């Protein structure tokens, strides 16, 4: 089949395999006749449709959160795991499935379970033994199981005799295994309980539901009964990127059908990365999950709003490196006898493509056009070889709707594993060539985009592939296993290679004018940035169980997470696999610099000692939080450095020395173009933007600075066009443009911190809009650098605060100078204000302050609960 100048085959290459079970026998999707679309492999429930083990035609454990499931001959096992298990010599935490109950039909004994349909985060398993049948819709964030039986009575079998604490005939409140459930049958019917089994004839109707309950109160049971027959029949995620404001808006919507009555809507449990980013009203109810606390929303939809901080195709040329030495490193790679280092399969070829692609802009910056063009030639030749039917090629399997590169590796063929990991490198290489050769991109770009569609198809009208194969839109992360054939559910190891795919989509889309692909990449990138911070790095130290002795994990599972990799227990690689490849798309790590430092401290403690094996990757990661320390690592260790297979001496040197000059990512400033970033070093900001377009443009940053960027070029505010700060209204935004510091008497936006601990950002409804800092509790803090008080002493501090804390929960907002542990120069107490968006301006006297200081806002309380939100603050003389 021809795609642009490229092609793919539909024939299986000689000696190759497609999707197969663990015995090597080819398998086809296990679905009913109602299914017309391509099966979503690599989902949280894929074992329903992809039978990995010949002896299990039902499913493996499926973790929907808060519920977990397992299909068996008699129906659907259900559990609500709430107690963590620490296993693997302390390296893994799990909330494992342990059956609380089984939903079924009296006498059901099905030979298998099939997928009868699905939507973006739900699936409907189907059982039939020829006489009795069952459909049961389950999903992420869904506390209900919606059951449709036929051929027999509805049946709920408990693992032990349940404690029935509410019996309303058709509605039961029960507790089993310490977990509370509501069991709901049609009005006018009665559940009959005999020992461990509850049955109901359903009065000739064909529906019932079961829900996990947060507690045993009558009001809780009433709430869940209200929606018990409003069955979720579909779910859908949509996203929109506002380039002008750098905001991503994502909407999650459930479609419901009333089985009785007229009730619409449902109850949805939001993951932490979702509820931190929504301003929609949530109930007080919560659930335990392997991803931390889930919070319950009453309604059929909710919306999150997140800031996209930008990516770069490469760092600019601002480092104080030895250009002769850097050029030698570039030519060492460009002129290597085997630049591919023996790679033959899609993964290792991909890593080599990524390594060489990173060198192209460095060669251009050095004026070494010969090396630049040689590197581009290598990339083109290798991509064209893979993108044409022949020895290296891609094969499309219409039965599974999957595009696989051969030679394959790591189960990318038989298990449909890791396509996003492999193909992200191809997207990055194609985007690099497109940056310099638009004609090549017009001819060969369509094949690169076909790979993108295989891994993460964002076009629902493209029937060749499932929607978002390798990305779970509700969970916010990717899944690596095509079959999900594990007791712990699905897994994702290298979150950073998942981000490499997202970055490749952004850059290839931007380079070719494909806004849909670009915005798909921004959606994947922004969503995963939030998920990675919480679920791999536990940025706020609240997700991992307290009994788990790690601050970082190498991989997540449906049931939990593990401080491990698939191939080694070496701490460098456990940590490093979620760092590599280091590119201009790695800047998201700079959004949580305190956690980068914690991550590296843990790695060195467990290593023990500094990095030895993956030194370059570790140093580059360190540069995103502490460039000076990374430079010291390089300066003291580069002579003995053996690059990681996807890295090079040239790129590592260039990366570290550029960040040593520019500083760290400025988390407070965004741009009105996705390929831009801002760095801060002391009081100096460096603005960087790349323009893939064919005409020059002026890039505007959120602090008012502007940057003129010529067509198809990168510009910076240092060593290139200077930024032109635009006039701003009074009070001025904070912090101010490069070199000016922050005026203590301006309104300093709380979200403009340089560092923080324990807090999160959310949209505010306060006057002026924007964001406020939220979820602030005892021990949390915010840091603001270079705050200029001048020669006239400031004697008053005012802050805009809100609190929806429970009665009796209060705390202190304190101002400290130059150190979090210095004595406060002033403070005020905050109690409940009537809601988390009910704002008040609270004044406090402070000791007279002059000069320039680092200002810390610290927060203390006698209670563990969050007690305050902050929108802005300022200082004054009176």
Cα–Cα dist 460/468, whole Å: 9
Tokens of 710: 């010529």
Given a contact cutoff of 8 angstroms between Cβ atoms, the answer to whether 379 and 444 are in contact is: no
Q: Where does 7-132 have alpha helices with state H? A: none
Q: How far is CA 441 from CA 358, 429, 457, 583, 666, in A?
A: 18, 11, 20, 21, 33
344 bridge partner residues: none
Which residues have C-beta within 8 Å of that of residue 838, sequence separation ≥ 6?
A: 802, 803, 804
For the chain, the C-alpha Rg in angstroms (whole number) is 28
The H or E element spanning position 523 is helix 515-535
- Please say if 418 is a catalytic residue: yes
144: left (phi over 0), alpha (psi -120 to 50) or beta: beta
Cα–Cα dist 672/308, whole Å: 10
What is the number of other CB atoms lying within 10 angstroms of the CB of residue 656?
Answer: 26
- Please say if 384 is a catalytic residue: no
Catalytic residue among 116, 317, 472, 493: 493
Q: Do you find a cis peptide bond into 432, omega within 30 degrees of 0?
A: no
SS3 177: coil
Q: Are strands 811-817 and 835-860 parallel, antiparallel or unpaired?
A: antiparallel
Burial class (CB in 10 A: 0-12, 13-18, 19+), 206: middle
Tokens of 669: 């400033």
Cα–Cα dist 797/844, whole Å: 5
Given a contact cutoff of 8 angstroms between Cβ atoms, the answer to whether 181 and 213 are in contact is: yes
Cα–Cα dist 565/559, whole Å: 16
Cα–Cα dist 738/746, whole Å: 16
CA torsion, ordered 599, 600, 601, 605, to nearest 10 deg: 110
Burial class (CB in 10 A: 0-12, 13-18, 19+), 424: buried
Cα–Cα dist 333/331, whole Å: 5
Catalytic residue among 77, 333, 368, 418: 418
Tokens of 485: 């054939």
Tokens of 84: 């963590």
SS (H, E, C) 664-700: EECCCCCECCCCEEEEEECCEEEEEEEECCCCCEEEE
Let me know how long the chain is: 878
Q: How far is CA 841 from CA 209, 311, 766, 802, 878, in A?
A: 48, 37, 11, 9, 15
- Please say if 749 is a catalytic residue: no
Which residues have C-beta within 8 Å of that of residue 722, sequence separation ≥ 6?
A: none
Cα–Cα dist 629/632, whole Å: 5
Cα–Cα dist 116/323, whole Å: 61
What is the number of other CB atoms lying within 10 angstroms of the CB of residue 342?
Answer: 7
- Nearest residue to 446 (alpha-carbon basis) of 2, 39, 749, 847: 2
Cα–Cα dist 759/751, whole Å: 10
Cα–Cα dist 295/297, whole Å: 7
- Nearest residue to 380 (alpha-carbon basis) of 319, 315, 448, 323: 448
Catalytic residue among 43, 392, 497, 572: 497
Cα–Cα dist 639/325, whole Å: 12
**Active-site annotation, residues:** 418, 493, 497
């Amino acid at each position: 089949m021809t795609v642009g100048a490229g092609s793919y085959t539909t024939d299986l290459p000689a000696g190759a395999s497609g999707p197969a079970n663990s015995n090597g026998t080819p398998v086809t999707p296990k679905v009913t006749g109602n299914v017309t679309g391509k099966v979503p492999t690599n989902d949280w429930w894929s074992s329903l449709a992809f039978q990995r083990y010949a002896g299990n035609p039902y499913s493996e454990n499926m973790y929907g959160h808060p519920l977990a499931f397992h299909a068996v001959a008699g129906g659907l096992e259900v559990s609500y795991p709430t107690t963590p298990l620490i296993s693997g010599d302390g390296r893994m935490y799990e909330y494992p499935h342990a059956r609380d109950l089984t939903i079924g039909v009296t006498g059901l004994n099905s030979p298998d379970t099939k997928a009868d349909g699905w939507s973006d985060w739900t699936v409907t398993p189907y059982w039939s033994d020829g006489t009795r049948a069952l459909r049961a819709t389950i999903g992420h964030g869904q506390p209900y199981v919606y059951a449709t039986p036929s051929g027999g009575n509805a049946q709920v079998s408990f693992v032990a005799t349940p404690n029935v604490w509410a019996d309303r005939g058709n509605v039961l409140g029960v507790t089993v295994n310490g977990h509370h459930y509501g069991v709901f049958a049609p009005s006018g019917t009665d559940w009959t309980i005999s020992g461990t089994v509850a049955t109901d004839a359903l009065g000739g109707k064909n529906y019932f539901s079961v829900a996990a309950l947060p507690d045993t109160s009558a009001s809780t049971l009433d709430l869940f009964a209200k929606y018990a027959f409003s069955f979720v029949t579909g779910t859908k995620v949509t996203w929109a990127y506002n380039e002008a404001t750098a905001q991503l808006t994502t909407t999650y919507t459930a479609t419901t059908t009333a089985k009785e009555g007229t009730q619409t809507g449902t109850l949805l449990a939001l993951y932490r990365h979702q509820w931190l980013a929504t301003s929609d009203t949530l109930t007080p109810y919560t659930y335990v999950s392997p991803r931390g606390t889930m919070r319950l929303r009453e309604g059929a939809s909710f919306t999150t709003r997140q800031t996209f901080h930008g990516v770069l195709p490469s760092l600019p040329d601002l480092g104080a490196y030895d250009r002769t030495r850097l050029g030698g490193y570039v030519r060492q790679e460009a002129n290597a006898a085997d630049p591919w280092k023996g790679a033959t399969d899609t993964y290792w070829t991909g890593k080599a493509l990524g390594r060489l692609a990173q060198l192209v802009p460095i060669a251009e910056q050095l004026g070494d056009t010969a090396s630049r063009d040689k590197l581009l030639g290598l990339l083109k030749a290798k991509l064209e070889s893979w993108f044409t039917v022949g020895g290296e090629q891609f094969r499309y399997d219409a039965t599974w709707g999957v595009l696989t590169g051969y030679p394959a590796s790591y189960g990318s063929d038989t298990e449909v594993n890791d396509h996003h990991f492999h193909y992200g490198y191809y997207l990055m290489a194609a985007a690099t060539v497109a940056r310099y050769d638009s004609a090549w991109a017009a001819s060969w770009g369509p094949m690169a985009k076909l790979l993108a569609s295989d891994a993460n198809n964002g076009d629902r009208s493209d029937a060749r592939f499932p929607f978002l194969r390798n990305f779970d839109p509700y969970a916010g992360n990717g899944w690596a296993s095509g079959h999900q054939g594990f007791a712990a559910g699905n897994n994702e190891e290298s979150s950073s290679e998942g981000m490499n795919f997202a970055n490749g989509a952004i850059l290839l889309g931007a380079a070719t004018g494909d806004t849909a692909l670009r915005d798909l990449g921004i959606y994947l990138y922004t969503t995963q940035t939030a998920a990675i911070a919480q679920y791999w790095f536990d940025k706020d130290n609240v997700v991992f169980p307290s009994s788990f002795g790690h601050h970082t994990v190498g991989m997540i599972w449906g049931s939990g997470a593990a401080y491990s990799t698939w191939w080694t227990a070496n701490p460098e690689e456990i940590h490093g696999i979620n760092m590599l490849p280091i590119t201009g798309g790695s800047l998201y790590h700079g959004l949580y610099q305190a956690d980068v430092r914690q991550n590296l401290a843990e790695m060195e403690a467990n290593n023990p000692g500094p990095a030895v094996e993956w030194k370059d990757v570790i140093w580059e990661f360190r540069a995103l939080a502490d460039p000076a320390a990374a430079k010291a690592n390089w300066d003291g260790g580069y002579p003995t450095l053996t690059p990681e297979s996807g890295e090079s001496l040239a790129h590592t040197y260039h990366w570290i020395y550029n960040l040593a000059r520019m500083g760290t990512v400025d988390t407070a400033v965004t741009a009105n173009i996705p390929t831009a970033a801002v760095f801060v070093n002391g009081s100096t900001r460096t603005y960087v933007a790349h323009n893939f377009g064919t005409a020059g443009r002026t890039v505007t940053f959120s602090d008012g600075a502007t940057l003129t960027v010529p067509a198809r070029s990168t510009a910076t505010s240092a060593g290139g066009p200077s930024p032109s700060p635009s006039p701003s209204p009074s009070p001025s935004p904070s912090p101010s443009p490069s070199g000016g510091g922050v005026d203590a008497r301006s309104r300093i936006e709380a979200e403009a911190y340089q560092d923080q601990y324990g807090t999160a950002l959310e949209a505010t409804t306060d006057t002026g809009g924007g964001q406020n800092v939220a979820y602030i509790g005892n021990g949390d803090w915010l840091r603001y650098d270079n705050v200029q008080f001048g020669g006239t002493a400031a004697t008053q501090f005012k802050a805009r605060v809100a609190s929806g804390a429970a009665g009796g929960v209060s705390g202190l907002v304190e101002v400290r100078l130059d150190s979090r542990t210095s004595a406060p120069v002033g403070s005020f107490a905050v109690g409940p204000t009537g809601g988390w968006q009910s704002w008040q301006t609270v004044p406090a006297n402070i000791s007279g302050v002059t000069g320039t200081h680092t200002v810390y806002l610290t927060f203390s309380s006698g209670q563990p609960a969050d007690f305050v939100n902050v929108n802005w603050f300022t200082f004054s003389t009176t």
